[in-house]
């Protein structure tokens, strides 16, 4: 079964989904952009759980994913994944970004998630080229085989990303 893929422009912290994905930094302690917005909207419970994870395993490595509850958010879970900082090493950065999607989807599946919402990982302050990031994101979710996940939503913060995702998804149909 292939999940339905949707694109919308909006606020990830307000999306109705079983899980939302946080473009976290390796400290898991909140930051700017999506990460800061999720921690602010979700409340202290998310930070407390992130601290527990850090105490147990240390920082989260780039491309890896961990899960917390969603605190005050409408989702059940927040899957925190650390995207790569763009450094012009396209091959390495692309592999790490692909791992963010793969590991987040595997974790979501293990939690029996039916709907999952992704931000545009690494395209903000990490400066990953938006078009390349969208191609990787779409490619990874389209090739992910799942019996559990029914819907994947790409939540774009800005019109530029929304346009890129819409265009690429239309080309893939």
Is 48 a residue of the active site?
Answer: no
CB-based burial, 61-72: b 16+ in 10 Å, e otherwise: ebbbbbbbebbe
Which single residue is written with the structure tokens 């949707």? 6
Contacts of 101 (CB under 8 A, 6+ apart): 118, 121, 136, 137, 140, 141, 144
Which single residue is written with the structure tokens 């763009």? 86
Helices (H), 111-149: 130-143
**Catalytic site residue from 11, 35, 48, 112:** 35
Taking the C-alpha atoms of residue 1 and residue 49, their distance in angstroms, rounded to an integer, is 33
Residues acting as catalytic residues: 35
């Amino acid at each position: 079964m292939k999940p339905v893929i949707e694109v919308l422009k909006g606020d990830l912290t307000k999306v109705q989904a079983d899980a939302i994905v946080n473009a976290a930094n390796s400290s898991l302690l909140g930051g700017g952009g999506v990460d800061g917005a999720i921690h602010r909207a979700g409340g202290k419970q998310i930070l407390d759980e992130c601290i527990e994870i850090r105490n147990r395993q240390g920082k989260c490595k780039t491309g890896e994913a961990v899960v917390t509850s969603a605190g005050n958010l409408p989702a059940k879970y927040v899957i925190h994944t650390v995207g790569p900082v763009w450094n012009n090493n396209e091959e390495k950065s692309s592999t790490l970004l692909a791992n963010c999607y793969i590991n987040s989807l595997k974790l979501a599946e293990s939690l029996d998630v039916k709907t999952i919402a992704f931000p545009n990982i690494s395209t903000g302050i990490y400066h990953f080229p938006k078009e390349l990031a969208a191609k990787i994101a779409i490619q990874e979710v389209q090739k992910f085989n799942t019996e559990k996940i029914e819907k994947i939503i790409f939540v774009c913060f800005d019109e530029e990303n929304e346009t890129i995702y819409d265009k690429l998804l239309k080309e893939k149909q």
